[in-house]
Amino acid sequence: MLINDTLQLLASVLLFLFAMGKVKFALVYCLPLLVISTATFLNTPLILATMSVERYVAIFYPLQRPAAWHSDHIWIIILSLWLISYIFPIIEQSMRDHNTAVDVLSTPVFCKINLINSSPIQRLFKAAINILFFVVVAVIILFTYVRILLETRNMRQDRVSVSKAMHTVLLHGFQLLLCVLAFTSPITETLIVLHANWLPEDVAFFNYFCFMLIPRFLSPLIYGFRDQILRGYIRKAFLCCSNKVKPRVRAKLQGNF
């Protein structure tokens, strides 16, 4: 998840800076950025659904876990998710209208997804894929959460592990909600244009910062603070910083007196 979010942020930040700076370059450099940005965006709900299913299987079928979910074979699932998430952006780009006046290797263009993927078929395909991905993931997370919640009420032993799994699945649902916020940008653009005299660049920056950067920024923080070992390191780091700052402040106060 962290590697996927890092790649997504890297590609989207580059595309955003190029769009804000009105930089033109050839499609041979633009299309890989668009594919990576779209694929990593689709890969996030797939990862959330896979983690929810893994928690579900660990609770209900602890002795029948698939061999691919063992630590030494987990790369099979990760590779499968990446392949699935990259197939659809490649298909979307193959539907692009090929303009004979635009040379893929040399003609400079604005690397904006609305300009590159401007055909109605591409827009319909992208909307269908996004809806399909998020509906399937939402159903999986809701199903696993309800089953684990019912199991928590019925089980008298090992309620702690079941409760932790329930909170984990609930966290995945919250992360999915953060991902869905990216689709609210057209609504916010309309509301801002109606009620405020913002420049188009300001509206684009507001949407990108609130609905793309912040959700990706919260994801590693949430997992970092939930991990006991990493939380201990964070606490030690803050304590060390506070211990270093306090003597300096105390010495400065003494010098003032």
Domain ranges of the chain: 2-232
Quickly count helices (H) and strands (E) in the chain.
10, 2
Burial of residue 115 (number of CB atoms within 10 Å: 0-12, 13-18, 19+): exposed
pLDDT in tens, 156-184: 556 676 677 677 777 777 777 777 777 66
- 206-251 per-position pLDDT tens digit: 777 877 778 777 777 776 676 777 777 777 877 776 555 444 444 4
List b or e across 157-171, with b for residues whose CB sees 16 or more CB atoms inside 10 angstroms: eeeeebeebbebbeb
* CA 59 – CA 163 distance, rounded (Å): 10
Identify the band that residue 31 occupies on the pLDDT scale cut at 50, 70 and 90.
Answer: confident
pLDDT of residue 71: 66
Round to whole Å and give the CA distance between 154 and 149. 9
Q: Length of the chain, please?
A: 257
Q: Which CATH architecture has domain 2-232?
A: Up-down Bundle (1.20)
169, containing H or E segment: helix 159-180
Strand partners, 25: 109
Selected residue with higher pLDDT from 43 and 198: 43
Q: What is the DSSP-derived secondary structure letter of residue 209?
A: I
The pTM for the full model equals 0.74
